[in-house]
Amino acid sequence: MKNIQVSSVFISFYIIVFVTLLFSRAEAQAPQSFIPAPTNIDQSSCPCVLPDNSVFFRVHAPYASHLQIDLAKKYDMEKDEEGYWTVQTEPVDPGFHYYFLIIDGVPVADPASRTFYGTGRMISGIEIPSGSERFFDIKENPHGTVRTHHYYSKVTESWRNLVVYTPPDYENNAEKEFPVVYLQHGGGEDETGWTNQGRVRHILDNLIAEGKAKPMIVVMADGHLPGLPGGYSTSAMENIKKEMTEVIVPFVDAKYRTLQNPRNRAISGLSMGGGQSFYIGLGNLDTFGSVGVFSSGIFGGIRSVPGRTFDAENEIPGLLTKASDFNQKLDVFYLSCGHSDMRIEHTIHAVDTMREHGLDVEFNSFDGDHDWNVWRESFRDFASRLFK
C-alpha cells in the first residue's frame, strides 16, 4: 500500500510538470500595433488584436506536435525552435466570440483567456473591441447589483441556482417596487450566460442612466432541467413552464420587492430560451404581460429538424384566430434575429403571418449570426420597450 501511495505522488508530480510545460506562456512582447484582448487573463500578453481586427495568438507548448486555434474556422499554428506556436487569424467582427485551442486534435480552453460556460462546456471567449465606446461597456454611472441564489425546485427535486440583477435604485429606495424580466439563456449555456457573455448588467445600467429604460429586476434561471425531457417537446415545455410559474416566480416575488402583476412582468430569451419564452409567455398571459423571442429556431430553419413547419395557431391556440384577445393582454410581443442567421427567413415569415392575422408583433434584426453580438442588441432593444 505504501508503494502505491508513493507511486501516486510521483505520477501526480509528473502530470503537474507536464501540464505546466505544455501550457507555459511567455511574456510576449507584441508589436505596438497590437492590443491585448480585454478577455485576457494577463493584460500584458496575447491573444492580441490588430488594427484590422485580426487576432495574434502565441502559445508555448514545446511538447505538442500540432496546435490549432478554432475561432469560427481552424487556423494551423507554426512552431519555432524554442517551442512557441504562433498564428494570425483573418479579421474578426467586433464583439464576443467563443474559441478553442486544439492540441494534437483535442479541443481545450486556452489558459490565456477567460473561460465561459457555452456549447455545453467551459470554453475560451474573446472580446474584439470596436474602437469606440459601446452600449455594453462599463461607464461612469450608477451600477446595479448581481446576486446568486440557491432555491429548491419541486419540479426537479433538487437545489438549483438563480442569478438576479437589481437596478441601482433598488438599494437606495427601500420602499420602491420594481418590474421584473425573466431572461433565459440558449442551449449549451446556463444561468451565468447573460451576465458573463451577455453583459446584461452593463446594458441595463447604461440604459437606465440614459433614461432609455425603466429600472427593472432581471432574473436569469437555468433552462436545462436535469433528468427531464429537453428540447421543444410537449413534456419539456410543460416542465419548464411549471418550473418558471410555480417555483421561480413565487421565489422571486417572496425574495424581492417586485410589482406582482402581468403588466410588470416579462419573459424573454435567446435561441432555446427564446422558444421557452414563446411557449411560457404566450401560454401564461395571466403571469407575463410581455414576451421577447431572440433568434429562436421554433419558426423553422434548424438543420437538426429538417422540414419542420411552424403552425402558430397549433402551437398557441387562439394566437391567430383570437389575435385581439392576445393584443389586449400583451404590452410587448417582440421577435429578433441576426441578418446572417439561417433562422431569419423563417422568423420573418412567422412575423408576417401573425401580423396578417392582426397580432401586434414588434420585430428587429441586427448584424451578425447566431451569436452574442445579436443577443446583446436584442436585449437592449427589448428592454427599452418594456414597462412604458
Domain residue spans of the chain:
24-128, 145-385
Q: What does the pLDDT read at residue 76? A: 98
pLDDT tens digits for range 105-118: 999 999 999 999 99
Q: How confident is the model at residue 6 (pLDDT cuts 50, 70, 90)?
A: very low
Model pLDDT, residue 308: 56
pLDDT score at 34: 83
Regarding predicted confidence, which is higher, 250 or 303?
A: 250
pLDDT at residue number 307: 52
pLDDT one-digit tens code per residue, 169-203: 999 888 999 999 999 999 999 999 999 999 999 99
Percent of the chain having pLDDT more than 70?
Answer: 90
**How confident is the model at residue 32, as a pLDDT?**
55
pLDDT given at position 1: 45
Tell me what pLDDT residue 44 has.
86
| Cα atoms in the 13 Å half-sphere on the side-chain side of 378 | 37
Confidence band (pLDDT; 50, 70, 90) for 310?
A: confident
pLDDT band at 232 (very low <50, low <70, confident <90, very high): confident
Domain 145-385 has CATH 3.40.50.1820: yes
Q: Is it the case that residue 11 has pLDDT exceeding 60?
A: no
Kindly state which CATH superfamily the domain 24-128 is placed in: Immunoglobulins (2.60.40.10)
Segment 326-334 shows an average pLDDT of 98
On the question of pLDDT at 231 being above 80, the answer is no
Helix (H/G/I), strand (E/B), else coil: 149: strand
Least confident window among 23-37, 52-66, 113-127, 144-158: 23-37
**What is the CB neighbour count within 10 angstroms for residue 30?**
17
The string over 52-65, giving b where at least 16 C-beta atoms fall within 10 Å of a residue's C-beta and e elsewhere, is ebbbbbbbbbeebe
Beta strands, E only, 129-228 = 145-153, 158-166, 180-184, 217-221
pLDDT at 276 over 80: yes
Tell me the three cell numbers of residue 297.
Answer: 429556431
The mean-pLDDT minimum among 127-131, 158-162, 298-302 falls in 298-302
Work out the pLDDT band at 273, boundaries 50, 70, 90: very high
Packing angle between helix 372-385 and helix 200-209, nearest 10 degrees? Answer: 40
Element (DSSP H or E) covering residue 96 = strand 95-103
Distance CA 23, CA 11 (A): 18
- Nearest residue to 63 via CA among 84, 34, 87, 47: 84
Kindly report the backbone phi and psi dihedral angles of residue 323, in degrees, each rounded to the nearest multiple of 5, phi listed first.
-60, -35
Mean predicted confidence (pLDDT) in 236-254: 96
The whole model's pTM is what?
0.88
Q: What percent of the chain has pLDDT over 90?
A: 81
23-32 pLDDT, tens digit per residue, is 444 344 455 5
138 touches 207 (CB < 8 A): no
Q: How sure is the predictor about 50, in pLDDT bands with cuts at 50, 70 and 90?
A: very high
Q: Do 145-385 and 24-128 fall under one CATH topology? A: no
Q: The C-alpha cell of 68 is what?
A: 490549432
In the block, which residue shows the cell 478577455?
39
For residues 129 and 113, give the distance between their C-alpha atoms in angstroms, rounded to a whole number: 15
pLDDT of residue 262: 97
Contacts by 23-26 with C-beta closer than 8 Å and gap 24+?
23/59, 23/60, 23/61, 23/111, 24/60, 24/61, 25/58, 25/59, 25/60, 25/111, 25/112, 26/58, 26/60, 26/84
- Cβ neighbour number for residue 261 with a 10 Å cutoff: 11
Amino acid at 15: I
Looking at per-residue pLDDT, the higher value among 133 and 304 belongs to 133
Instruction: Provide the sign of the torsion angle of the four alpha carbons 291, 292, 296, 300, taken in this order.
Output: positive
Residues 14-22 have a mean pLDDT of: 35
| DSSP 3-state of 35 | strand
Mean pLDDT of the chain: 90
pLDDT digits (tens, 9 = 90+) for 72-86: 899 999 999 999 999
Cβ neighbour number for residue 8 with a 10 Å cutoff: 10
Which whole number is the average pLDDT over 87-115? 95
Q: How far apart are CA 103 and CA 207, in angstroms?
A: 42
Say how far residue 168 (Cα) sits from the centre of its chain. 22
CA angle 300, 331, 312 (to 5 degrees): 25
Answer positive or negative: Cα dihedral of 201, 331, 361, 285.
positive
Amino acid in the structure at residue 93: D
Report the side by side order of strands in the sheet with 78-79: 35-36, 48-49, 55-60, 84-88, 78-79
The CA distance from 264 to 274, in Å, is: 19
